Amino acid sequence: MPKAKATLLQGTLDMLILKALSLGALHGYGVGQRIAQISGDALKVEEGSLYPGLYRLEQRGWIESEWDVSENNQRAKFYKLTRAGRKQLIIEEQNWERLAGATIKALRAV
Amino acid sequence: MSWIKTTTRFINAWRHPDERVREVETELRFHIEMRTRANVEQGMTPDDAKHAALQSFGDFERVRNNCCEIRRSLPFDSTPLRMGLHIGTAVLAGLAALWAVNVPHHNFTGVMRQLIAIAILTYLFVVVRRARSKRRADNELVNGVLSAKITAFDEQGHTPVERVFKS
């Protein structure tokens, strides 16, 4: 099975996490599932690497967490977007769209 | 006020480090438990499901340590502060070394000062080396060069393309 490796843009994981949480509070496992779901199973984040990302976003004040009971009655930590996080998501989306648009334009240039 | 929460978390991370480690471990174990359940629902045996869950999670200890390290990092961009401290230490040590060297060393006091100068310069060297390695570690965690492997699939659900996303 052919495989390719590439380094993509900084901030992509942050944006995906913020986007996943913009749809509602989730625990870490749920964030990974939601990213897979909203990308139509096209993107799967290496599960463990989600957590340092979540902690860093919380440290920046873009998300906040609290312990609650999960759907299977276990104690779990749920994350939700803060107001600052919502603003940051808009900025990230705009940046991404601008960059993607410019890249497509450059690739289609004749 | 998110900065109040962040600062409280930072203080708690230093006051109760073991508690924070346990908290992180509980969170990560919950994830593995959920993945194991999902694998069992897909038809795996419990042992295989657990094994697969651990494998897809990656290095548990590394993730736990990264999370704890982030929690203990200062709740603001500390680069200018750290740079100031290192420069201040270097200047003070340099001045002290100059003072120590700047005497004739043919008597006991002179020799002692020379030894002090050597000790200060060694200390300075160690501080600079530590600062450099600490900065490398911090860059990996705090200043956003933290990599996550994300697998992208095509429309047919195969031909995975691994990409390293840097956040």
- Return the sign of the alpha-carbon dihedral for residues A91, A96, A101, A103: positive
CA distance B152 to B71: 30
Confirm whether A4 is domain-assigned: no
CA distance B110 to B102: 9
What pLDDT does B61 receive? 92
- What CATH number does residue A55 fall under? 1.10.10.10
The alpha carbon of B78 is separated from its chain's Cα centroid by a whole number of angstroms, namely 13
Most confident of A44-48, B101-105, B127-131, B158-162: A44-48
User: How much is the average pLDDT of B33-60?
Assistant: 93
Confirm whether A99 is domain-assigned: yes
User: How much is the average pLDDT of B12-20?
Assistant: 77
Tell me which amino acid residue A16 is. L
- Degrees, nearest 5: CA angle A15-A19-A20: 120
Residues 99 through 138 of chain B touching chain A, CB cutoff 8 Å: none
| Number of domain units in chain A | 1
Confirm whether A57 is domain-assigned: yes
Distance to chain A for B45, nearest Cα, Å? 20
Confirm whether A7 is domain-assigned: no
CA nearest neighbour of B64 among B97, B23, B7? B23
Cβ of A41 within 8 Å of Cβ of B157? The answer is: yes
Domain ranges of chain B: 2-75, 79-133
Element at B149 (helix H, strand E):
strand B147-152
What pLDDT does A20 receive? 95
Whether the pLDDT of residue B112 is over 90: the answer is no
Cβ of A55 within 8 Å of Cβ of B67? The answer is: yes
pLDDT, tens digit, 9 for 90 and up, residues B36-49: 999 999 999 999 99
CA nearest neighbour of A58 among B120, B24, B37? B24
Task: Average the pLDDT over each of A28-32, A37-41, B30-34 and give the range with the smallest value.
Answer: A37-41
Task: Give the chain B residue whose CA is nearest to the CA of A28.
Answer: B31
Whether the pLDDT of residue B52 is over 70: the answer is yes
Confirm whether A3 is domain-assigned: no
Q: Would an 8 Å CB–CB cutoff place B87 in contact with chain A? A: no
Confirm whether A103 is domain-assigned: yes
CA distance B30 to B77: 31
Domain around A48? 12-108
Tell me which amino acid residue A42 is. A
Q: Which long-range contacts (CB under 8 A, 24 or more apart) does B97-105 make?
A: B97/B121, B97/B124
Give the CA dihedral B89, A60, B7, B24, nearest 10 degrees.
-100
